[in-house]
Amino acid sequence: MILEALIGFTFLAALATFLSPDEYAGRVGFGLSLLPVVGSLYMWSAFDATGNALLSGGSLAFETQIDWLTVGGYTLQWFVGLDGISLPLIVLSTVLTSLAILSAWTPIDERQSQFYGLMLFMEANLLGVFAALDFFVWFVFWEAVLVPMYFLIGVWGGPRREYAAIKFFVYTNVASLIMFIGFMALVFNLPVDSFGLPAIAQALRGGELSGFLGMGAGTLATVAFAAMFFGFAVKVPVVPVHTWLPDAHVEAPTPASVMLAGVLLKMGTYALLRFNFTMLPDVAATLAVPIAAIAVLSVIYGAMLALAQQDLKRIVAYSSVSSMGYVILGLVAYTEFGIGGATFQMVAHGLISGLMFMAVGVIYNVTHTRMLGDMGGMADRMPVTAGIFVAGAFGYMGLPLMAGFAAEFFIFQGAFASTVLPAAPLFTAAAMFGIVIVAGYLLWAMQRTLFGPFRLETDYEVTRAKFHDTAPLAVLLLCTIALGVAPEAFFGMITDAVVPLLGGGA
Amino acid sequence: MATLVSGLVALGPAVLLAATGLLLLIINAVYPTEDRPTLLAAVSTVGSLAALGAAGALLTGAAGVLSGPEDSVALYGEALVVDGMSLFFAAVFASVTALVVVASYDYLADDPHRAEFYSLTLFAATGMALMASANSLAVAFVALELASLPSYALVSFLKGNRGSVEAGLKYFLIGALSSAVFVFGISLVYAATGSLLLPDVAAALTEADEGLAGVAAIGILMIAGGFAFKTASVPFHFWAPEAYEGAPAPISGFLSSASKAAGFALAFRVFVVGFPLAGGDVVASVDWVLLFQILAVVTMTLGNFAAATQETVKRMLAYSSIGHAGYALIGLAAWTGSAGGDVMGAAMAHLLVYGFMNTGAFLFVALAEHWEIGRTFEDYAGLGTRAPMASVAMSVFMFSLAGLPPFGGFFSKYFLFAAAVGAGYWWLAAVGAVNSALSLFYYSRVVKALWFDDPETEFELGATPTALYAAVLFAAVATLLLLPGFGPVIETAQAAAAALIP
């Protein structure tokens, strides 16, 4: 019941924070958010990795399965549980939420109780997304994440916040609808009587799908795969459906950007892994070349777009498109290191992109600008922030002993050895070229903002950031380094969950 | 005597509603000059909650008259029937009535005719409860009029307000016309079958000779027209936006959810029991399923598109309520006999959820009218900071009406569409889903105004009306809490609907 307790407590914490007075809301929200952190760390320590894979037929860790209601012959269940793929993302969600709340203390100066309440509400739903194993429960949490983010962008965002919020909402909601229809087309033509993901995955892998409306089972599987892939690809996002992302990021307040890049994008790749690649590996294999092409295009094009930006936050935003492209590449490789590395990259990118967005936020708090052309020599005025920014950028570039390096190394190793993907070395080499561009734009951005003579023209004092602004950065940096030094902390449990997926039929 | 007692027990919800209405008139007669707002509101609330409790007790078999939603009791020469469906709808009417009377306490703060307002509301609810029980076309007509006549008065209750009076007049004229059409249809069906009791009508229709097929068919069409009026379906929907906009906002909520649900209750029973599709030549010549398919598609599409172009929130809600009538019509439009129980049960569950979310939305409009902050979307700007809890509730209603998870509206719509797919009408479900996605556009305009926009002029909200605020919050909590409790709701509804199939 610990998963239920965790999710339930976070909802109550959200309500309590929403009702608390504005001047205390930040501290109340931060304090309450620490308990989920403790809970998720406890689950990590108590996690039993043996026999917990989705497909092995065994029970998952912390599993609960209670019948909820039966409609039209289908049983809906409250069905949650964790395996080695979801647990790291749960830990990431709780830690990042706490730090994002801390980083909001300085920039958020109106309607605090609502802001922190929404952050915790979003956290509760994110935990639900990663824990749920019944499609309905999962979909409810999945859609419910949109609502707080819509408000976070629309109320506390920048000048074009309404446009960005509505664009975000419409894009991801339409994508969800298409994905929903694709998934339902599968379930209605399977001889299963529940929406439990393990049962559906096993039935699909067992070849029990029948045709519909004159379509053969193979065609239906391909169409459903495409519908689900589109739905999740918008969330990831991959080129060419990424255009909502820069708008949302630039307008969103820093803590919302942190959550958006850190956790929300992972929902897309997590769902791709859970649905498309777990349930329909054969279709994924036949479509491997186009998917890998999309992945490489996202890596290269996202990095090129980042190179062309003048706004520091936009650079970090576009770099997410690039980094998430690596995740898709790892998934489509369909090897132990490929999928494991993709999962690891989800966590690593969550930490590093959170770190980068927070660093940009701290710089913006003191300079009130994000334009590269306006800044220079910030390292003299705020050495700690600058130091962390540089360290984070190195993590992004894949400096060894940082989480980003481990993740990219796993992915490239897995992708290179892929037997599913034709011409795998070629795709891998093309994606690796992305690292060069990443290094290019990050070094260029750092050189123009942090170093050189100080040339910011302001009529106010540019001083060091406050302690509670830099503390979350430091924590994230420590996590990044820890995971880079000891990737085994997560990678072992990830591979335990990944290996059974590779076994073909159930 | 024993039959009378068990009959009264079985009709408990309707009897309690009627008795409460009468009690209110007596209280008003005993204290003619004194103003007793709290007493009147309390009596109305207790009465409607008692009716809700009675419906629940009967439905679960706790009262010992029925053993469950599949069971039924016929009363008064089978002119009235109490079964799972009638009790389910009685529960919907009673809960909406309770919400509306609580909310009206503040809305009517300065009105001298409070007692009349409450008793009219309860009499209308009595008529609705009887509509759900009517097993004879004559009772159906009388019950329809009992529900309609108080509604006309309630719409024009704000005597000093021209909009309200005009709305009442329009509602009355079109209502009278459609009643005439309805009763004329009944007379034609009677001419063709020689009976008014629904089961007898069904039997006679399968045996009647070809010569009367045309008469019966025209009669059935005219009866369908009467329902289209009561449920505000195209093409008899023109009165709805006018009446809902002009009426006092709690009454708009009452009409657009309870009254509409009553129309569906009556339509479900009359068409499924009275004019079953499986049968002889006469009914086969009137394919009412096709008729309702056309009505459903046109109603939901027209309602949604019209709602998207409105400038005032109340009018938008009025048109969106027409759109929701289109969704509920799927209950009849996807009727196939075998899978029909699932579809109709899902439509009933949707009407229950709708009762909370739509009434709640209109009560929020009532709150805004109480604060006198204007009617357009722009006038709602900035309410999020001034009245956060009520605005959260309104956001819940809007997202739920749009069919977004995790709110009740998502589940009821999903089950409705899934049941339509299960019955083989996947294109109906597709039209519904597309409409639902479109509706997010205009519902989110309200949410955007509440939370994103800054008000153009500084203004102070008046004192918070406690009862109204409580009703809004309660409706929001119910919209959310229906989610974990949705299993029993939809199972009861589907069992009750399946029991109707002859």
CA distances from A343 to B258, B307, B341 (A): 51, 45, 45
Q: List the single best residue of A17, A18, A69, A152 to mutate versus B (max B Cβ within 10 A).
A: A69
Residue A51 token pair: 């026999």
User: How many CA atoms, within 13 angstroms, populate the side-chain half-sphere of residue B137?
Assistant: 32
- pLDDT number for residue B34: 61
Q: CB count, 10 Å around CB of A240?
A: 11
CA distances from B296 to B233, B423, B488 (A): 8, 16, 27
Give residue A327's pLDDT band: very low, low, confident or very high (50, 70, 90).
Answer: very high
User: How many CA atoms, within 13 angstroms, populate the side-chain half-sphere of residue B307?
Assistant: 31
Report CB contact under 8 Å: B437, A147.
Answer: no
- Angle between helix B408-422 and helix B466-481 axes, rounded to 10 deg: 40
- Of all residues in chain A, the percent with pLDDT exceeding 90 is 32
Give residue A459's pLDDT band: very low, low, confident or very high (50, 70, 90).
Answer: low
Mean pLDDT of A348-367: 89
Mean pLDDT of A408-433: 89
3-state secondary structure of B312: strand
pLDDT digits (tens, 9 = 90+) for A109-120: 888 888 999 999
3-state secondary structure of A62: strand
pLDDT digits (tens, 9 = 90+) for A135-170: 989 998 998 898 899 999 988 888 888 888 888 888
Report CB contact under 8 Å: A151, B385.
Answer: no
Report CB contact under 8 Å: A154, B437.
Answer: no
Would you say A129 and A141 are in contact if contact means Cβ atoms under 8 Å apart?
A: yes
pTM of the entire predicted model: 0.85
φ, ψ of residue A20 to 5 degrees: the values are -80, 155
pLDDT digits (tens, 9 = 90+) for A185-210: 888 888 888 888 888 888 888 888 87
Q: Looking at beta carbons, which residues of chain B come within 8 Å of A147? A: 399, 404
Q: How many Å lie between the alpha carbon of B270 and the closest alpha carbon of chain A?
A: 25
- pLDDT number for residue B168: 87
Report CB contact under 8 Å: B404, A166.
Answer: no
Report CB contact under 8 Å: B444, A114.
Answer: no
User: How many CA atoms, within 13 angstroms, populate the side-chain half-sphere of residue B414?
Assistant: 23
Q: CB count, 10 Å around CB of B147?
A: 26
- pLDDT number for residue A52: 64
Q: Is A22 on the interface with B (CB under 8 A)?
A: no
- pLDDT number for residue A225: 92
pLDDT digits (tens, 9 = 90+) for A234-258: 988 888 888 888 889 889 998 999 9
Q: Looking at beta carbons, which residues of chain A come within 8 Å of B422? A: 72
CA distances from A137 to A133, A140, A225 (A): 7, 5, 21
Of A503, A419, A497, residue with least CA distance to A205? A503
Q: How many Å lie between the alpha carbon of A171 and the closest alpha carbon of chain B?
A: 12
Q: Looking at beta carbons, which residues of chain A come within 8 Å of B433? A: 177, 181
Helices (H), B11-136: 12-30, 37-60, 84-107, 114-133
Mean pLDDT of A321-340: 91
The mean pLDDT of chain B is: 84
Report CB contact under 8 Å: A69, B490.
Answer: yes
Terminal-residue alpha carbon distance, chain A: 28
Report CB contact under 8 Å: A173, B440.
Answer: yes
- Angle between helix B137-155 and helix B213-230 axes, rounded to 10 deg: 30
* For residue A382, pLDDT beyond 50: yes
- pLDDT number for residue A505: 41
pLDDT digits (tens, 9 = 90+) for A27-80: 999 999 999 999 999 998 888 776 666 776 667 888 888 888 777 678 888 888
Report CB contact under 8 Å: A139, B444.
Answer: no
Q: What is the spatial distance between Cα A19 and Cα A81, in angstroms, rounded to a whole number? A: 31
CB pairs under 8 A between A and B: 66
* For residue A122, pLDDT beyond 50: yes
Of A36, A87, A369, A76, residue with least CA distance to A195? A76
* For residue A506, pLDDT beyond 50: no
Name the stretches of chain B with pLDDT < 50: 281
